[in-house]
Amino acid sequence: AQSVSQHNHHVILSEAASLELGCNYSYGGTVNLFWYVQYPGQHLQLLLKYFSGDPLVKGIKGFEAEFIKSKFSFNLRKPSVQWSDTAEYFCAVNVGDYKLSFGAGTTVTVRA
Partner 1 sequence: SQTIHQWPATLVQPVGSPLSLECTVEGTSNPNLYWYRQAAGRGLQLLFYSVGIGQISSEVPQNLSASRPQDRQFILSSKKLLLSDSGFYLCAWSAQGLSNQPQHFGDGTRLSIL
Please tell me the count of residues contacting partner 1 according to CB under 8 A. 26
To partner 1, the closest distance from the beta carbon of 99 in angstroms equals 6
> In this chain, which of 51, 55, 56, 69 binds partner 1, going by CB under 8 A?
51
- Residue 57 CA to residue 112 CA, distance in Å, equals 28
CA distance 72 to 92: 13
Q: Which is nearer to partner 1, 42 or 112 (CB)?
A: 42
CB 32 within 8 A of CB 93: yes
Q: Which is nearer to partner 1, 17 or 27 (CB)?
A: 27
Nearer to partner 1, 11 or 100 (CB): 100
Chain centre distance of CA 110: 16
Given candidates 49, 72, 73, 86, which one binds partner 1 under the rule CB under 8 A?
49
- Determine, following the binding rule CB under 8 A, whether residue 54 of this chain makes contact with partner 1: no
Structural contact between residues 105 and 90, judged by C-beta atoms closer than 8 angstroms: yes
Beta partners for residue 74, in sequence order? 67
